[in-house]
Amino acid sequence: MKDFNGKAAVVTGAGSGFGREFARAGAALGMKLVLADVQQDALDGTVREIEALGAEAIARRVDVSRSEEVEALADAAFSRFGAVHLLFNNAGVGGSGGLLWEGSVRDWQWTLGVNLWGVLHGVRAFVPRMLAEARQDPAYRGHIVNTASMAGLVNAPMMGSYNVSKHAVVSLSETLFQDLMLASEQVRCSVLCPYFVPTGITHSERNRPAELTDPGSLTRSQQVAKAMNEKAVSSSRVSAEQIAQMTFDAIRDERFYIYSHPHRLAGVESRMTDLLAARNPADPLAAQPEVRAALEKAARG
């Protein structure tokens, strides 16, 4: 996609973080916006801001883990604007962290439900309709951006459910790329793999459904993982606004992989080398011995 003016974009997780910045960037480019979030007050705030910028927008409260709600979002988007050109499958949660085996079934259901199933529901609800638009209009161009993470490319300890969900999103996105190459010249996709960026994801428990909430207290390893993730996120020097600009640049250039911190790819290279050499996985925290020491202390009690 080269021209965004007058085109329609759908953004999930639009109430904060990357989603809000995607909406702001789209509005600045003259796009019409369909904004979705599970937190109504945050969503309303984004919509007010976007409308104040002069952009046309509609909002829907959506739990992306529920396929019927994502289908309804697609119905609303196509009904209002006739076509959707840009889809951001962006909604995500941080997961519980801690040692892999300490995560409850509810923890895993919540994290995978939003981070993985939310993306899959978005692909299933929107991509067939986008391809139909492409068949009807030779000038149509569409693009899908799935938000994954650097945690979808490396496996740091005590981030089990999050790592699993984001690796799955990377795999889903790479497969989607190949499938789209077979199906159409007019629809493409990208996968966004940010490192730690201040987005509010460390506070995603605020929107966790009651039926997936665990009544018990956090384990020691979960407490330590939570504190370290919050510190890493808050200390990042890259903003969500910068990530949004990087993402729109990648869409223009039809680049698939979008990295917020290219210097962190050394960990990915190390992992790929281990795979090819059939070596045991290298320590992803080798350059951060103080972090490893703290996690090891928590793991061993």
Q: What is the pLDDT of residue 121?
A: 98
DSSP 260: S
Q: Are 222 and 102 in contact (CB under 8 A)?
A: yes
Q: What is the pLDDT of residue 50?
A: 96
Q: What is the pLDDT of residue 187?
A: 98
Q: What Cα–Cα distance (Å) separates residue 104 from each residue in 177, 205, 217?
A: 33, 15, 12
Please pick, among 162, 195, 257, 259, the residue that the annotation labels catalytic.
162
- Domains defined along the chain, listed by start: 8-299 (3.40.50.720)
Q: What is the pLDDT of residue 112?
A: 97
Q: What is the pLDDT of residue 165?
A: 98
Q: How many CB atoms lie within 10 A of CB 233?
A: 18
10-residue mean pLDDT profile of the chain (301 residues): values are 96 97 98 98 96 96 98 98 98 92 95 98 98 98 98 95 97 98 98 89 85 88 89 85 97 97 92 97 90 90 77
Token pair in block for residue 121: 């529901």
- Give the span between the Cα atoms of 298 and 235, in whole angstroms: 22
Say what the pTM is. 0.95
Which amino acid belongs to residue 183? A
State yes or no: is 140 an active-site residue: no
